[in-house]
Amino acid sequence: MTLSQILALVGELDDSPGNETPRDRFRRFLKDNAKDVGQLRDYVQECLSNSGTQYNRALQDLASLFSALTSGA
């Protein structure tokens, strides 16, 4: 599944409060499904190849997840 497909499914990433926001669903999807560094790299590349707030926010969340995975947290 491409990042664009994931973003289309979860909805507009924003900073709305709550537990079932699109951004919360996106982060949970990444945490539960993106265990491979290569897959994360592909998602990051897709963010860098596209412009817009949606991809910028996705990139922030991907960077946070990558940091957590590489630090062993």
Q: How do residues 5-51 score in pLDDT, each as one tens digit? A: 999 999 999 999 988 999 999 999 999 998 788 888 999 999 999 99
Predicted local confidence at residue 72, as pLDDT = 62
> Among the listed ranges 17-21, 50-54, 57-61, 65-69, which one has the minimum average pLDDT value?
65-69
HEC string for 2-35: CHHHHHHHHCCCCCCCCCCCHHHHHHHHHHHHCC
